[in-house]
Amino acid sequence: MRSKLFAGWTVPVGLLLLAAPLFAHHSEALYDKEHPVSLTGTVTEFKFINPHVQIHFEVKGENGNVVKWIGGMGAPQRMYRRGWNKQTLKPGDQVSISGNPAKNGRKIMSVRKLVGPNGKVLRESAE
């Protein structure tokens, strides 16, 4: 009886332990919420893909050099329900993006507000 009970719990617990790392990428801990940034740049690529929609864009730095950034947002399914699709942004579009940059200095951010090329607010998050 004990071996059947043990075997019955071993598989579900093992599966939960194996699945735990899959949830780790949803952490906002790598972003600096204390020092948000606002950038204006040009879209170079728009990826409407899982697990998160990505906007690749270039910004002119203070010294005139081009700095490449990546902005991440929610899952494409969630963004689709809000009216987004693969054509929402295109390379060459001018955008203004505000969000939380990576704490480690990499040029990635969690997008909180996005103003599209027509001046329309495409995304605004309470956080």
Q: What is the mean pLDDT of residues 103-117?
A: 95
The mean-pLDDT minimum among 7-11, 67-71, 113-117 falls in: 7-11
* pTM score: 0.76
CA distances from 1 to 7, 9, 10, 88 (A): 10, 13, 14, 59
List of domains in the chain: 37-124 (2.40.50.1010)
Q: Which residue has the tokens 């995304």?
A: 123
Which backbone phi and psi does 93 adopt, to 5 degrees? -65, 140
Cα Rg for the chain, rounded, in angstroms?
19
> Is 112 or 27 the better-scoring residue by pLDDT?
112
Each residue of 75-104: pLDDT tens digit?
Answer: 999 999 999 999 999 999 999 999 999 999
Q: Output the pLDDT for position 18.
A: 52
Q: Output the pLDDT for position 28.
A: 74
Q: What is the mean pLDDT of residues 111-117?
A: 95
* 97 in Cβ contact with 37 (< 8 Å): no
